[in-house]
C-alpha cells in the first residue's frame, strides 16, 4: 500500500482523534499502529539502545493515550506525538546518572574553512544510493549521531530522518524555527565531516 500524502495523513489522524474523543478507543490502536515504528526508530537513534527505546515507546504512547482527550489540535497529531517522544527521551537522559560517552562541544561541530573546502571537494554526498544504504554506513551514521549533543541530534533526526518541517520540529521541541535551522546546520556540518572522513579512509 502506498504511503499517504501528508495532507491526507493529517486528515486521517484528525478523524481518528475525533473518534477517540467520542469514545471509540479502537481509534487509538489505529494511530499507534500508524506511528509506532516511526517513533521507535526516532527514539532508537536518540538513545542508541534498542531496549531503552522500546521502553520509551511504551511511555510515549501511554502518555499520548492519557492526554489525547485534551489534545486541542494546535499542531498536527504527528507533531504532538513527536513532542511527547522528545520529552520522554530528554527526561530519560536526565534521569540517568551518567552519559555513556562524551558529547562534542559546540566548537567541535564546526569544521574549519579548509575542512569545508575539502568536504565540498570530496563529494561524499554524491555517493550512489546503494552505497549510502549499506548496513555498515548506516551503523557509522548512527555512531556519529551519538557523538552529537542532544539539542543537535534531536533536531537532525526530526528534520532529516523523520522528515518533519522546520515548523513542525520547532513545535515538537518547543523552540523557535531559527533555532531549529541553526542547530540543523551545525549538525549537518558535523555529519558531513564525519562522512567525509569515512569515505576518505574507505570506511575504516
Question: Three-state DSSP class for 72?
Answer: coil
pTM for the full predicted model: 0.72
Q: 107-200 maps to which CATH number?
A: 1.10.10.10
In the block, cell 481509534 appears at 27
- Domain spans in the chain, listed from the N-terminal domain onward: 6-95, 107-200
DSSP 107: G
CA dist., res. 139 & res. 30, Å (int): 31
- Give the number of other CB atoms < 10 A from CB of residue 57: 22
Angle at 75 (CA atoms; ends 188, 22), nearest 5 degrees: 140
Kind plus residue range of the DSSP H or E element containing 100: none
pLDDT digit string (tens) for the chain, length 204 residues = 445 566 778 889 999 999 999 999 999 999 999 999 999 999 988 877 778 889 999 999 999 999 999 998 888 999 999 999 998 887 776 655 444 444 444 444 444 445 444 444 444 444 444 444 466 777 777 888 888 888 899 999 999 889 999 999 999 999 999 999 999 999 998 888 888 776 666 655
Q: Are 87 and 152 in contact (CB under 8 A)?
A: no
Angle between helices 26-47 and 77-95 (to 10 degrees): 50
Would you state the CATH architecture of domain 6-95? Orthogonal Bundle (1.10)
Q: Are 30 and 36 in contact (CB under 8 A)?
A: no
Range 113-142 burial, b when 16+ CB lie within 10 A, else e: eeeeeebeeeebeeeeeeeeeeeebeebbe
CA dist., res. 38 & res. 33, Å (int): 10
Q: According to DSSP H, which parts of the chain are helical?
A: 6-21, 26-47, 50-67, 77-95, 113-122, 129-132, 135-147, 150-156, 166-173, 177-200
Amino acid at each position: 500500500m502506498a504511503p499517504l500524502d501528508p495532507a491526507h495523513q493529517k486528515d486521517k489522524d484528525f478523524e481518528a482523534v475525533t473518534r477517540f474523543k467520542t469514545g471509540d478507543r479502537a481509534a487509538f490502536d489505529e494511530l499507534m499502529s500508524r506511528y509506532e515504528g516511526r517513533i521507535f526508530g526516532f527514539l532508537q537513534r536518540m538513545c542508541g539502545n534498542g531496549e531503552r527505546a522500546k521502553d520509551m515507546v511504551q511511555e510515549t504512547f501511554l502518555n499520548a493515550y492519557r492526554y489525547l482527550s485534551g489534545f486541542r489540535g494546535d499542531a498536527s497529531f504527528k507533531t504532538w506525538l513527536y513532542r511527547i517522544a522528545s520529552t520522554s527521551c530528554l527526561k530519560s537522559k536526565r534521569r540517568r546518572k551518567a552519559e555513556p560517552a562524551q558529547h562534542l562541544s559546540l566548537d567541535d561541530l564546526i569544521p574549519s574553512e579548509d575542512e569545508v573546502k575539502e568536504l565540498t571537494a570530496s563529494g561524499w554526498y554524491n555517493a550512489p544510493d546503494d552505497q549510502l544504504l549499506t548496513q555498515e554506513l548506516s551503523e557509522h551514521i548512527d555512531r556519529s549521531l551519538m557523538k552529537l549533543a542532544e539539542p543537535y541530534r534531536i533536531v537532525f533526526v526530526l528534520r532529516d530522518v523523520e522528515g518533519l518541517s522546520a515548523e513542525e520540529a520547532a513545535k515538537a521541541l518547543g523552540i523557535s524555527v531559527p533555532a531549529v535551522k541553526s542547530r540543523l546546520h551545525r549538525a549537518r556540518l558535523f555529519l558531513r565531516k564525519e562522512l567525509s572522513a569515512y569515505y576518505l579512509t574507505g570506511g575504516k
